[in-house]
Amino acid sequence: MDLALVVLVQVLYAVASLVIVSAGLAVIFGMMKVINLAHGEFMMLGAYAVIGALELGVNLWIAIFIVAPIAVGLVGVVLERLVIRRLYGRMVDTMLATWGLSLLLVGIVTSLAGNTTAGVSAPLGSFSIGAYSVSGYTLVIIAVAVALALAIRFVLTRTQLGLIARGTMQKPDMANALGISPSRVYSVTFAVGAALSGLAGGLLAPLTGVVPTMGAAFVAKAFITVIGGGPAILAGLLGASTLFGAINQLATFVTTPVLGEVALLVAAIVMLRLLPQGITGRFFKGSL
Amino acid sequence: MNRFAKSWVSAAVSLAVGVALLFGLPGVLDDYTLIEVTIYAVMSILGVSLAFIWGFGGILCFGQTAFFGLGAYTYAIGVMNTGDSTVPFLLAIVVPALFAALLGYVIFYGRLSDVYMGVITLTVTLILFNLINSTAGPEWRIGSAPLGGFNGIPAIPTLNWPGQQDEVLSPKDLFYVTFACLLLVYLGLRVLIASKVGRVIVAAKENEQRVLLLGYDARVYKLLCFTLGGAIAGLAGCLFANWGAFTSPTIFGLAQSAQIIIWVIVGGLGTLIGPIVGCVLIQWLTSQIGTQQVFNSNLVLGGILVVFVLLVPRGIVPTLGNLIDMAWRMLRPSARTAKPEKSGIAKVEPDAVPALPLATKEQAS
């Protein structure tokens, strides 16, 4: 019984971390159709923002929830203005340019911070379920993932901003005719996606070591989740995270963490063979 | 010169230059430099494999290193088990080709777009990297070859003459083999691209729908192209393992796969010689960066990639070609009136037009 509970918490945690890791990408790729291969590096910047803020004596929670998203959001605005903006509609070129950006960011951070692992210790300690102990931070991750999903849904469906953003993505010229500047909407959307990636990096900083190359560990997982999710941003994100997170965690439980990751990626590839449009291309059609 | 004649001239020129380099370089260079040139040739083969599937097949593969690494590991494991290098050498081509065929089947028969394809191939590379990286313990071995995890496989027996295990190739012989492989791959691909199969592959890249309507199953041709690319990358991997007598999981790494893409972009997409130029330039640049501490190599490579995508999207070789064409036209006033040639469209030369009625008159008489 205790074991079942622990496994349940672990599975929820795996699903939640996939949601968090992929949310920023879901906004940038799902809405703007921009393949952002620098997604992992945005997360890395978020993690470094947390470390930098902690060194300046900022409270950990403020560093994670405020400093990291804002810092990476600003970087996102700058990069969108300088590079991404010139490549809208040219998917392959965006992919290459963002990969260039990812190398560039890794290079810059390595030059500044060195190639050593910095760490943040996980707050909140741990609590026990029967004979097992579970880190309290795990529950924070789960809670944040739920809050994030609700927030995305709220913003996209209930606010003026979300309506404008969705409308612009569907028909930019029509939105333009109605007096909305698509280029500003793109810019803001990209910044929001970048901020979400920064938040993810900040949140995961206490769990993984912080190194300039840490982004590579997340980019494939995030992409596979978003692509496996299909056209609907939120339903796809949640569906794919649930499926892949559960597979990952259960395989990890039976074998090793490495084989767990392999199981996730293989499952994703098999799924894309069966459902090339992703989960929401076939099921949950037309949802958000 | 029309396009057809031009392509034969350039093929003949590259063959001549290639053969001259193949036999000339060992006489001119000292052993150290020759070994350096060998690794450039190995990497050029890898670059050409991506240049072929991406530039001519339209398949953007972010994980070309998957096949490269598989080739290296297949050779290493094979040669450590059998002793003789001939069969492992062939296996190092066949295994990555089969793997590419399997992966290509999933991608092309799932009708995934090129963007998804990039992400999937990237993912596969990461899977292989993680897998091999985690095989550090002594229990991970295939036959008598320990996989070695992140430490890699050291002291791989290098190529020997077929059937004679004791006659190992010298560095000079390895240069001959590698450079000859590069030449063969380059010329073989040029012949393939000029052939009917190659034309269908290029046509499928340009417009898949139209190729389907003409009765060709584009998926088969794409799969063929992808498999061949995998085989060539595997060959490069095998030669790489031979060059250093060593292979490690970083061969699958993201850094390596990023580099190949940069070679192709810098050299010129849609050419076979461009990626070789790009490869040599970038490899040289990376080794120069390695000798100083100011810039990180990622920084420079990333910057180059961004700048080329934004400012020189066609790459060095086609851009230079354009410049030369322009200069040529300015120097030759008679050609100034001729419109610039559009790629892929056969053009009738102005000189050829009056020749036509002349020919018919002769036939009539």
Give the model's pLDDT for residue B183: 92
On chain B, the residues whose CB falls within 8 A of the CB of A220 are 119, 122-123, 126
* SS3 of residue A126 by DSSP: strand
Residue A2 and residue A159 in contact, taking contact as beta carbons nearer than 8 Å:
no
Range with the largest mean pLDDT of A75-84, B251-260, B294-303: A75-84
Give the model's pLDDT for residue A72: 94
* Other Cβ atoms closer than 10 A to B300: 18
Give the model's pLDDT for residue B205: 87
Are B112 and A224 an interchain contact pair (Cβ–Cβ within 8 Å)?
no
For chains A and B, count residue pairs whose Cβ atoms are closer than 8 Å: 123
Nearest to A21 by CA among A212, A232, A282, A240: A240
Question: Which H or E run contains B15?
Answer: helix B3-28
Does the residue B334 lie in any domain? no
For residue A260, what are its two tokens?
Answer: 């767990």
On chain A, the residues whose CB falls within 8 A of the CB of B303 are 100, 104, 107
Does the residue B339 lie in any domain? no
Give the model's pLDDT for residue B357: 39
Distances (CA, A) of B349 to B322, B324, B325, B353, B359: 18, 19, 15, 7, 16
CA distance B80 to B61: 30
**Structural domain harbouring B316:** 3-327
For the segment A114-138, what is each residue's pLDDT rounded down to a tens digit? 777 777 777 777 777 777 777 888 8
CA distance B107 to B116: 9
Query: For A35, which residue in chain B has the nearest alpha carbon?
Result: B115
Query: For B61, which residue in chain A has the nearest alpha carbon?
Result: A92
- What are the residues of chain B with a beta carbon less than 8 Å away from any beta carbon of chain A? 60, 62, 106, 109-112, 114-116, 118-120, 122-124, 126-127, 130-131, 133-134, 254, 258, 261, 265, 295-306, 309-310, 313
Residue A227 and residue A241 in contact, taking contact as beta carbons nearer than 8 Å:
no
Q: Which residues, 6 or more positions from B349, have their beta carbon under 8 angstroms from its beta carbon?
A: B2
pLDDT of residue B346 exceeding 50: no
Are B310 and A110 an interchain contact pair (Cβ–Cβ within 8 Å)?
no
Q: Which of B4-13, B238-247, B351-360 has the lowest mean pLDDT?
A: B351-360
Give the model's pLDDT for residue B30: 81
Distance from CA of A104 to the nearest CA of B (A): 4
Nearest to A103 by CA among B114, B257, B45: B257
Distance from CA of A122 to the nearest CA of B (A): 25
Distance from CA of B213 to the nearest CA of A (A): 22
For residue A189, what are its two tokens?
Answer: 């959307």
- Mutation pick from B54, B306, B314 vs chain A, by most beta carbons of A within 10 Å, is B306
Does the residue B57 lie in any domain? yes
- Mutation pick from A36, A96, A221 vs chain B, by most beta carbons of B within 10 Å, is A96
Residue A39 and residue A84 in contact, taking contact as beta carbons nearer than 8 Å:
no
Are B299 and A86 an interchain contact pair (Cβ–Cβ within 8 Å)?
no
DSSP one-letter string for A200-243: HHHHHTTTS-B-TTTTHHHHHHHHHHHHHH-S-HHHHHHHHHHH
Phi, psi (rounded to 5 degrees) for B259: -60, -45
Give the model's pLDDT for residue A233: 82
CA distance A118 to A212: 10
Does the residue B156 lie in any domain? yes
Residue A36 and residue A88 in contact, taking contact as beta carbons nearer than 8 Å:
no
Sign of the CA dihedral A212, A217, A218, A224? positive
Nearest by CB to A106, from B106, B109, B298: name it: B298
Are A111 and B296 an interchain contact pair (Cβ–Cβ within 8 Å)?
yes
- Identity of residue B235: L
Does the residue B152 lie in any domain? yes
For the segment A31-90, what is each residue's pLDDT rounded down to a tens digit? 888 888 889 999 999 999 998 888 888 888 888 898 899 999 999 999 998 888 888 878
Give the model's pLDDT for residue B42: 93
Q: What is the pTM of this model?
A: 0.82
Distance from CA of B100 to the nearest CA of A (A): 14
Burial pattern A265-283, b for ≥16 Cβ within 10 A else e, equals bbbbbebbbebbbbbbeee
On chain A, the residues whose CB falls within 8 A of the CB of B109 are 273
The tally of domains found in chain B comes to 1
Nearest to A193 by CA among A152, A145, A243: A152
For the segment B161-193, what is each residue's pLDDT rounded down to a tens digit? 777 777 777 888 888 889 999 999 999 999 899
- Residue B358 banded pLDDT, cuts 50, 70, 90: very low
Strand blocks (E) in B71-171: 141-142, 145-146
Strand blocks (E) in chain B: 141-142, 145-146
CA distance A167 to A162: 8
Nearest to B154 by CA among B72, B221, B94, B212: B72
- Identity of residue A233: I
Does the residue B342 lie in any domain? no
- Mutation pick from B54, B282, B305 vs chain A, by most beta carbons of A within 10 Å, is B305
Query: For B260, which residue in chain A has the nearest alpha carbon?
Result: A96
**More confident call, B308 vs B344:** B308
- Identity of residue B78: G
Does the residue B178 lie in any domain? yes
- Write the Ramachandran bin of B58: left for phi over 0, alpha for psi from -120 to 50, otherwise beta: left
Q: Which residues, 6 or more positions from A158, have their beta carbon under 8 angstroms from its beta carbon?
A: none
CA distance A253 to B332: 74
Q: What is the CA radius of gyration of chain B?
A: 23
Question: Which long-range CB contacts under 8 A does B165-168 form with residues at least 24 apart?
Answer: B165/B83, B165/B84
- Residue B6 banded pLDDT, cuts 50, 70, 90: low
Does the residue B353 lie in any domain? no
For residue A264, what are its two tokens?
Answer: 């996730």
> Mean pLDDT for each consecutive 10-residue tract of chain A (288 residues)?
81 89 88 86 92 86 89 93 84 85 89 78 74 81 91 88 86 87 88 93 86 84 84 85 87 82 82 79 70
Nearest by CB to A220, from B123, B265, B309: name it: B123
Which residue in this structure is represented by tokens 């050029």?
B44
Are B298 and A103 an interchain contact pair (Cβ–Cβ within 8 Å)?
yes
Q: Which of A82-86, B63-67, B299-303, B343-347 has the lowest mean pLDDT?
A: B343-347
- Residue B365 banded pLDDT, cuts 50, 70, 90: very low
Q: First vs last Cα of chain B: how many Å apart?
A: 29
- What's the residue count for chain A? 288
Distance from CA of A15 to the nearest CA of B (A): 19
For chain A, helix (H) and strand (E) counts, in that order, are 14, 2
Beta-bridged to residue A128, according to DSSP, are: A133
For the segment B122-135, what is each residue's pLDDT rounded down to a tens digit? 888 888 888 888 77
Nearest to B69 by CA among B222, B179, B284, B230: B230
Q: Which residues, 6 or more positions from A11, have their beta carbon under 8 angstroms from its beta carbon?
A: A245, A246, A249, A250
Query: For A100, which residue in chain B has the nearest alpha carbon?
Result: B302
CA distance B337 to A108: 50
Q: Which residues, 6 or more positions from B92, have their beta carbon under 8 angstroms from its beta carbon?
A: B71, B72, B74, B75, B78, B234, B235, B237, B238, B241
